[in-house]
């Protein structure tokens, strides 16, 4: 009986310690940066299924629409990001080609993610606007929905504690002139964000991006 009483505190201590090993590192996820685009020089190299690669690099800090942001080169396209006050914002720059001219339709900062991420959390952003070019009205409707689907490993199993996010973007451009019909584009993709690495995989119906190498900037 005495032995049992002596063992009881040890058993209790073991129970308490093992209870922390349930593979659910919530505070690790809270501490991690799931989209580290605020370090100049960081670079991600992705391979594209079927051949090819994509390089994403944080170039520098610039000012866009009176806000200081990070300029990111993705392939040949520039993107602009701000990560502050608990949210990640992306500069939406929507344009359309019409009669050989590039017509700006919408430019503004839109929240991309609300930190901290949690499974099931979702956000939807939409705009409805128009522009007039060469005496023709072009209407533009855009909607983006994002939902955190689950937590787990990346598809290639290389990264753990990833948040999988389902992102759907629908754009309807309509040149309001004879002979033109609304042009609808819908892109759906699942992306995996790894702690302190960022996007490690992106899967659409017809393509898969997989992170090969990540070099954080200094």
Residues near another protein (CB under 8 A) are 16-17, 19-33, 85-87, 114-123, 148, 151
Nearer to another protein, 30 or 187 (CB): 30
Alpha carbon 99 to chain centroid distance? 33
Nearer to another protein, 26 or 132 (CB): 26
> Shortest gap between Cβ of 72 and another protein (angstroms)?
21
Task: Decide: residue 43, CB within 10 A, 0-12 exposed, 13-18 middle, 19+ buried.
Answer: middle
> Shortest gap between Cβ of 117 and another protein (angstroms)?
7
> Shortest gap between Cβ of 141 and another protein (angstroms)?
24
Nearer to another protein, 24 or 188 (CB): 24
108 and 126 in contact (C-beta within 8 Å)?
A: no
> Shortest gap between Cβ of 165 and another protein (angstroms)?
11
Nearer to another protein, 146 or 200 (CB): 146
Nearer to another protein, 12 or 187 (CB): 12
Closest CA to 141 of 101, 170, 111, 181: 170
> Shortest gap between Cβ of 132 and another protein (angstroms)?
36
């Amino acid at each position: 009986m005495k032995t049992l009483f002596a063992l009881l505190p040890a058993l209790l201590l073991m129970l308490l310690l093992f209870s922390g090993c349930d593979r659910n590192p919530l505070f690790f996820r809270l501490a991690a940066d799931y989209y580290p685009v605020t370090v100049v020089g960081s670079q991600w190299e992705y391979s594209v299924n079927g051949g090819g690669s994509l390089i994403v690099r944080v170039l520098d800090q610039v000012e866009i629409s009176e806000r200081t942001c990070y300029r990111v080169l993705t392939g040949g396209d520039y993107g602009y990001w701000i990560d502050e006050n608990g949210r990640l914002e992306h500069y939406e720059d929507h344009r359309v080609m019409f009669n050989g001219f590039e017509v700006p339709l919408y430019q503004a900062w839109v929240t991309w993610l609300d930190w901290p991420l949690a499974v099931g959390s979702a956000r939807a952003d939409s705009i409805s606007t128009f522009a007039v070019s060469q005496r023709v009205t072009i209407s533009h409707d855009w909607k983006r929905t994002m939902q955190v689907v689950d937590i787990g490993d990346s598809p290639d199993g290389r990264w753990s504690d990833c948040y999988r996010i389902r992102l759907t973007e629908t754009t309807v451009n309509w040149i309001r002139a004879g002979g033109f019909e609304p042009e609808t584009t819908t892109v759906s993709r699942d992306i995996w964000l790894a702690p302190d690495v960022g996007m490690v995989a992106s899967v659409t119906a017809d393509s898969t991006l997989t992170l090969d190498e990540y070099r954080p900037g200094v």
